[in-house]
């Protein structure tokens, strides 16, 4: 602070004003800050100093007189010691006032320049902050776009996986239907093979014991009843749609249920399926292992399909 005081005194400010400025602005730590306060409050300091100026002038006159005498002695001794050097006489009051005025104007110019520099720095800082904000906004938009692309890829993969699962489920159903048909054919063949010898023996014994029929009756009995080669089932679903499908007469009613499940039940789920034959005959679960021929559904029949959706479960 002593160096700041000495510099301000050289600029023309009084020690009273400098002391008042330092006390009134304790946060001022530099020459420019104290100078700004002095220039901003110059009128207030002059008014406050007017009341006590007379007493201070009387005290300062003696000090100034003694200081002027000391300076004159010092300069005369310097002139005597160095007669060839340029000697500057004591400056007049007008020169002192002019020097102070120039010093104050220079200080105001410095303050104005520093204020302009700070304003330019603030402007540049605001521009840099705006650039950073825009750059962060662009990065945020890019990140959002990347996340949306990843989400679309994930959904596409999920749809592809669901499609693969539906195809596998359909394939398993078809394999199960083919396996059931093959098993039914094998069981039917075994039943026919086992029943053929007994039927032949029964026919021979009954023919020997019975009376000889007429020629016309014998011709009628000789013609065997033709078995149906296929069974056409017309299915009516709860949504009003219909579907006609051909089955083997020796296939079980379970094959019809598998066909309905494959056509109407969503992939990965199953449900209880009920069949109602005309006029109002309900085909129960105990009839699922019976053949279509034995149920009287051949060569053609119509079935109404009902779903019990409350019992739907996931197959997976």
Residue 70 is assigned to a structural domain of this protein:
no
Question: Residue 1 is part of a domain; what is its CATH number?
Answer: 1.10.8
Residue 80 is assigned to a structural domain of this protein:
no
- Is the pLDDT reported for residue 119 higher than 50? yes
Residue 164 is assigned to a structural domain of this protein:
no
Mean pLDDT, rounded, for 167-193: 87
- Is the pLDDT reported for residue 222 higher than 50? no
Residue 133 is assigned to a structural domain of this protein:
no
- Is the pLDDT reported for residue 107 higher than 70? yes
- Is the pLDDT reported for residue 68 higher than 60? no
In sequence order, what DSSP letters do the residues of the chain get, joined into one string?
-HHHHHHHHHHT--HHHHHHHHHH-TT--SHHHHHHHHHHTHHHHHHHHHHTHHHHHHHHHHHHHHHHHHHHHHHHHHHHH-TTS--PPPPPHHHHHHHHHHHHHHHHHHHHHHHHHHHHHHHHHHHHHHHHHHHHHHHHHHHHHHHHHHHHHHHHHHHHHHHHHHHHHHHHHHHHHHHHHHHHHHHHHHHHHHHHHHHHHHHHHHHHHSPPPPHHHHHHHHSPPPPPS-EEEEEE-TTS-EEEEEE-TTSBHHHHHHHHHHHHSPTTEEEEEEEEETTTEEE-GGGTTSBTTTTT--SEEEEEEEEEEEEEEE--
Residue 274 is assigned to a structural domain of this protein:
yes
CA–CA gap between residue 223 and residue 29 (Å, rounded): 131
Q: Rounded to the nearest 10 degrees, what angle do helices 42-51 and 15-24 cross at?
A: 120
Backbone angles phi, psi at 236, to 5 degrees: -115, 120
- Is the pLDDT reported for residue 67 higher than 70? no
User: Are β-strands 300-314 and 231-236 bridged in parallel, bridged antiparallel, or unpaired?
Assistant: parallel
Residue 258 is assigned to a structural domain of this protein:
yes
Residue 286 is assigned to a structural domain of this protein:
yes
Burial letters 239-252, b for 16+ CB under 10 A, else e: eeeeeeeebbbbbb
Question: Residue 296 is part of a domain; what is its CATH number?
Answer: 3.10.20.90
Q: Which domain holds residue 28?
A: 1-41
- Is the pLDDT reported for residue 286 higher than 50? yes
CA–CA gap between residue 98 and residue 216 (Å, rounded): 160
* 268 in Cβ contact with 198 (< 8 Å): no
- Is the pLDDT reported for residue 187 higher than 60? yes
Q: Residue holding tokens 């104290």?
A: 34
Mean pLDDT, rounded, for 176-205: 76
- Is the pLDDT reported for residue 1 higher than 70? no
Q: pTM higher than 0.85, yes or no?
A: no
* 108 in Cβ contact with 39 (< 8 Å): yes
CA–CA gap between residue 248 and residue 293 (Å, rounded): 9
Tell me the range of 149-158, 195-204, 233-242, 262-271 where mean pLDDT is highest.
Answer: 149-158
Number of domains present in the structure of the chain: 2
Q: Cα 213–214–218 angle (5° rounding)?
A: 75
Residue 263 is assigned to a structural domain of this protein:
yes
CA–CA gap between residue 295 and residue 106 (Å, rounded): 120
In sequence order, what DSSP letters do the residues of 169-205 get, joined into one string?
HHHHHHHHHHHHHHHHHHHHHHHHHHHHHHHHHHHHH
pLDDT for position 10: 75
* 272 in Cβ contact with 261 (< 8 Å): no
What are the angstrom distances between the C-alpha of 60 and each of 6, 12, 23, 134, 196? Answer: 18, 16, 23, 64, 153
């Amino acid at each position: 602070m002593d160096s700041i005081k000495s510099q301000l005194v050289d600029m023309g400010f009084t020690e009273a004003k400098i002391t008042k400025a330092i006390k009134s602005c304790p946060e001022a730590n530099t020459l420019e800050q104290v100078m700004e306060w002095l220039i901003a409050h110059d009128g207030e300091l002059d008014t406050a100093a007017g009341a006590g100026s007379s007493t201070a002038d009387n005290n300062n006159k003696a000090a100034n007189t003694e200081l002027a005498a000391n300076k004159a002695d010092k300069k005369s001794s310097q002139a005597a010691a160095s007669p060839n050097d340029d000697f500057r006489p004591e400056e007049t009051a007008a020169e002192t006032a002019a020097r102070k005025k120039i010093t104050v104007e220079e200080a105001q110019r410095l303050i104005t320049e520093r204020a302009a520099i700070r304003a330019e720095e603030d402007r540049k800082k605001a521009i840099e902050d705006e650039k950073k904000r825009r750059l962060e906004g662009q990065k945020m938009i890019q990140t959002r776009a990347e996340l949306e692309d990843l989400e679309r890829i994930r959904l596409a993969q999920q749809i592809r996986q669901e499609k693969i699962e539906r195809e596998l489920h359909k394939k398993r159903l078809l394999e199960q239907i083919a396996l059931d048909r093959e098993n039914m054919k094998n069981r039917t063949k075994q039943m026919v093979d086992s029943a053929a010898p007994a039927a032949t023996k029964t026919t021979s014994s009954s023919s020997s014991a019975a009376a000889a029929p007429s020629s016309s009756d014998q011709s009628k009995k000789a013609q065997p009843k033709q078995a149906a080669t296929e069974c056409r089932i017309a299915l009516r679903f709860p949504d009003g749609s219909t579907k006609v499908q051909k089955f083997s007469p020796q296939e079980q009613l379970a094959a019809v249920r598998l066909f309905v499940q494959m056509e109407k039940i969503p992939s990965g789920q199953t449900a209880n399926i009920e069949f109602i034959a005309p006029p109002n005959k309900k085909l129960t679960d105990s009839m699922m292992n019976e053949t279509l021929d034995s149920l009287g559904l051949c060569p053609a029949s119509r079935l109404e399909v009902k779903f019990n959706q409350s019992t739907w479960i996931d197959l997976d």
